[in-house]
Every structure is written in C-alpha cells, then in structure tokens.
Chain A
C-alpha cells in the first residue's frame, strides 16, 4: 500500500496548489536559464551570420562587438588580395532608433556588401537586397512586415526580406542594409548641421569607413597565418571567428552571464529552502499519524518513504508546471528565452536532488516522533 500516494490523493487540492507554487518558482529558475541561453545565442548568432573565418578590425582593439573599431573602407580590397583569403566583405554596426506604428523602435543596423560575406545567413521570408539603396532586411522581432516602409536617418527604406533570431547582444533586433546606406546613416549630417560645418570652413568628412572586414579563408590555409600577416604588414588587428566569439562572450555577455548565474543560484537556494519548509510543515501536520504508524509497527523505511516519495512527486510535478508555464509564456518575454532540453533535464535532476536533501528535515522530524504521541488526546 503506497501511503504517500494515498496521502496525496486525500489532500489533492492542497498538494497541487503547493506544486503550483513550487512550479512558479522553478519556472522563474528555468526562465533565467533560458534568458541566459538566449543572450548567448543572440550574441553568437549575429557574429556567426557572416560565416567568416577572420575578423579584421582596428589595430589595438578587439573588434566592434567589444569596443569602437574603425578602419578605412579600402581594407576590404587589401584583405581580399592576401594570400589564402577566398573572399572578404566590409561591415558596419550601429544602433538606430526610429518610429514604427507610433512606437519607438530600436534597431541594430548592420551594413554589408550584397554578394560578399557579411549578410544574413538565411532569410525566413522575402528576398535578398538587390538595389544599392533604401532596401533592408529585418528580423521578425522588429515587427516590420514585408513591403513596409520605415525611416532610418533621413531616408525611407522598404523591407524586402525577413530573418529570424537575429538579435544584438543588447536585445535590439537586427536590420541589414547595404554598406553605402549604413555609411550614410552613420556619417551624413542633417542639412542645418552640414551648413554650419560648411560655414565654419570644415572639409566634409570622408564616409568610406567600416567597423570590420570579415574574410573567408581558403580550405587548408591556417587562419592564424593570415591573421599574422594582417597584424605584421597592415598594422591592423585580426581575430579568428573562434576568438571573436570568445571575446564577445567574455566582454559583452560575461557580466550578464554572471548576474543571471548568481540569480539562478539564489533562486535554486530559495527553492531548496521552500521545499524543505513545505516538507517540514507537511510532516508536522502528520506527527500523530506517523506516531500511530510507528505504534502499529510500521518500520522507518515506510515512514521515510512516505515523506521522500511526496518530496519527489512535488519536485516532478512542480518542475512540470514550471516547464509548461515557461513554454507557454516564453514568447512574451522582451528578450529571447531559449529553452534547451539539456538545461531542463539538468534542472529536473537538480530539483530531484534538492527534494531528497530538503526532505531530510522532515525525515529527521518523523524519525524523532515518539510512538507514545499516538496515545492519549
């Protein structure tokens, strides 16, 4: 006879409510893990989109994702001529804000040269950019739709293609425009400001500047060798794709990762304390029943089983509630929540361990219950 199951059956409403509360807590833990995974994936998706082997950036810097990096536009031609380089493309990165359907819309604008490395890896809808100006490819998270027009700087752009999961590490959705458009957006002054600059005799600033050049290396050519040549002869910095990803994670996401990790740890600790308290309280409520069981001859394993099985059931049901909740609401979060099966599995395992450890308090109490408690009023 499974006493744990019968006790749960008898107090089903209270048990399920307790599980629901625990589920909400575990849902928050799961969402924190998902937000972290989303943060990392977003950051890496953008840097992986050009499918480059090498990032050539301003000397003394670690690239546009870590700090400001500006290099002349003709670096692309120089890089393309290097021995072992198959293809190269210039890129710019900047944040822009516009208005869309009456609401402010922050965008991460990536400029690239159509036909060269740097553009989106694949489109979810629409077509690639085919004109030199005023076309853009937007991530679906922008809320922009195909054919819609949106103002960037002083110009209107038409949405011709859509991507998915292209989000900057700050959470802003990405739009791709041509390099020329992005340079205009970055450097072109408003007419009054341009007139003022002209009036004070300043020469128009050159706009052929990019933030990075991405290069693809021929098969069999060591990336380190090409990077060494860039560093030695061209007085620029070159970072391999792996290096760029590592830098991005260390520089940009590291603090967020540690913050979320710490918060997740605190939440897990809170969950453990809550589970322990719930089990202790449930055991306290059953002191007389436990004493009766001991008096009629129930061995300790039966009583321990009653508590531990309920703890495990609470963990499993609470985890399921939490996972279901996050699966249902994950798209409501402003940042992407990426739920990986292995993370959910690890959390389930951690919850089971926590439940077993946390049930220790209740088990200790139960084992100390004097059978004589069952006698008398």
Chain B
C-alpha cells in the first residue's frame, strides 16, 4: 500500500487551560492515501474544522505527531518546519465554503497568484492558470472578476486555484454548501478526478448528505473523537 499523504498519530488540540480547557480534538489517528477522497463528517462542534486546521498547519496541535506527504511536520510538541506558509504553498491546496476568491483579481489571476507566490515566471503561471481553467471548463471566464462569476464558476475557479501548485493534499471546507445538488455533484466528481489523476489526497468537511456517496471513505467525528470510519456505499 502507498505511504499515507496525511498521517496523524495521537493528535490532540486543547484550547485554554485548567477548568476553562476545551478539548476540541482528542488523540486522533488518521491516514489519508493518494487517490483517496475522504469525507469528514460530524455535528457542529465535533472537531471537524479543528482537524482541518491542524492538517492545514493553521493551528498548532497540543500533542501528537503529524506527517504530510511523507515529511514529519509536527512532533514532540513543536513544528519541525519553521515556515508553515511555505509548507502550505508547497504541499497543500485549500477549497473554501464560499470560494474566497480575491475580488480584485480576475479568475485567471486568482489561479496564477499561487504560482506567482511560489516564484514561477509570469508566463508559466498564466499558462498553468489557463490550462486549469480550461480543464475545469471555465476557461472562457479567464478575464472575469469573481463578482461576475456564477456560484458554480467561482467554485471551479477556486478549485483551479487549489490545484495550481500541484499540491499532494487538498483540504476542502464545505465546498458544496453554496451549490445546488447538481453542481455539488460536479464539484465532487472534479475532486475525485484530480485525486485519481494527480494521486492526491482529498479531505472534505461536509454536512451535505447528497455527496456522501461520492467519498471513498467517511470519517465520523463526535466530541473531538473519531467514532466511526466507514467506506461509502
């Protein structure tokens, strides 16, 4: 079997201390493999977003060990990489609930900005942005600003941005919440296609039952613990 791209061992997160301590995530083990689309499910306050933030290196775990793409990034209560933003730029792609495109950049620029930040030449960034937008069937909206895009177009541009730097891990937070069921299905199919073609691991937080059947695996969280992990029907 492949080495997991996301590997969490005994990872916990506690906010505050003493009587005011909130154990948002308790000793969690999780492994997500290349080509896998994993759904992260659970009621509000169950720890889904905390888990996503931990994998996204946005929040520091309280304890445990975390490795991304085979590289240990957190161990013995400390980050092993000094520059977490560079780590995110290199290994992670994010898809948000409300697309979060930068309103002052065109669709093409929103995708190219990731490569620009990574130091790619302008021509390369532009070509990659066009290639991705064509692949996601929004190439004709290359020069449009986000305010002029429909919800589905904007979400596809956001997916293109998440894929721009060819990340091995894609984290999606309620990516279909603002879409109808038809568009939600298209987005999940796209993510699945990316997972298969790029051998990427995709972790999706969702409440949307309509898309549960599109996950390879579902991880259920309750009160900060993984209570169930099952293969989608």
Seen from chain A, the residues whose Cβ lies within 8 Å of a Cβ on chain B are 1, 3, 6-7, 9-11, 288-289, 292-299, 302, 370-372, 374-377
Contacts of A295 in B (CB 8 A): 56, 58, 88, 94
Contacts of A297 in B (CB 8 A): 85-86, 88-90, 114, 117-118
Q: How far does the alpha carbon of A288 sit from the alpha carbon of B89 in the complex, in Å?
A: 18
Minimal Cβ-Cβ distance residue in B for A290? B102
Are A292 and B53 closer than 8 Å at their CB atoms? no
Seen from chain B, the residues whose Cβ lies within 8 Å of a Cβ on chain A are 49, 52-53, 56, 58-59, 85-86, 88-90, 94, 96-98, 100, 102-105, 109, 112-114, 116-118, 122, 125, 145, 161, 173-174
Are B109 and A293 closer than 8 Å at their CB atoms? no
Contacts of B96 in A (CB 8 A): 292, 374-375
Given A296-B89, A297-B118, A372-B53, A377:B113 Cβ within 8 A: no
Are B53 and A377 closer than 8 Å at their CB atoms? no
Are B114 and A375 closer than 8 Å at their CB atoms? no
Minimal Cβ-Cβ distance residue in B for A375? B173
Minimal Cβ-Cβ distance residue in B for A374? B100
Are B104 and A11 closer than 8 Å at their CB atoms? yes
Q: How far does the alpha carbon of A377 sit from the alpha carbon of B178 in the complex, in Å?
A: 10
Instruction: Please name 26 pairs of A and B residues whose Cβ atoms are closer than 8 Å in the assembled complex, sorted by A.
Output: A3-B102, A3-B105, A10-B104, A10-B145, A11-B104, A289-B104, A294-B85, A295-B94, A296-B88, A296-B89, A296-B114, A296-B161, A297-B85, A297-B114, A299-B85, A299-B86, A371-B58, A372-B58, A372-B59, A375-B53, A375-B94, A376-B49, A376-B97, A376-B173, A376-B174, A377-B97
* Nearest CB of B to A342, in Å: 38
* Nearest CB of B to A298, in Å: 5
Minimal Cβ-Cβ distance residue in A for B158? A292
Are A296 and B58 closer than 8 Å at their CB atoms? no
Given A375-B49, A376-B49, A376-B173, A298:B117 Cβ within 8 A: yes
Contacts of B100 in A (CB 8 A): 288, 292, 374
Contacts of B125 in A (CB 8 A): 1
* Nearest CB of B to A181, in Å: 71
Determine which residue in A288, A294, A374 has the highest number of CB atoms from chain B within 10 A of its CB, and name it: A374
Q: How far does the alpha carbon of A297 sit from the alpha carbon of B89 in the complex, in Å?
A: 5
* Nearest CB of B to A375, in Å: 5
Contacts of B58 in A (CB 8 A): 295, 370-372, 375
